[in-house]
Structure 1
């Protein structure tokens, strides 16, 4: 699993490549989150799978949240997959 050295990495918090599928993880407490299109260039640089259908984005958020992620209907990320996961770490986060 790759975790960026910089704590302010904008595109993702970590990723892992398993059996040719690239799993990105983004932890968020916001109600909206976009996928950074700059990942496409980074992917070419680091040898990520060229088939974007093998790029899976998982947004990890606290309980009682609804997250809107606009999915690309065209362009290089249109075939990527979106997932969400709830993680309760026992920290109270006020609902806006």
Structure 2
């Protein structure tokens, strides 16, 4: 996970990554439309207007999907919310 600006420059990076498990892959897209967009191999990008939705999903994420990455994702969401022209990238392998 990383925050990038319009130019593609990295503004902030997480040390942890999403732990891809069957529980995470089986999230209901109706309940978790933002997190459902994540895949283990592709990138997903979220803008400033999407941060409240993403944060709300992180708040109700099942315990089986929790981990260090959630805390770091919240911190990166705050970076995006405070800045201009910033995007949160979930970078797949």
Structures share a fold, TM > 0.5? no
Higher relative helix content: 2
The TM-score normalised by the length of structure 2 is 0.30
Larger radius of gyration: 1
Q: Larger strand proportion, structure 1 or 2?
A: 1
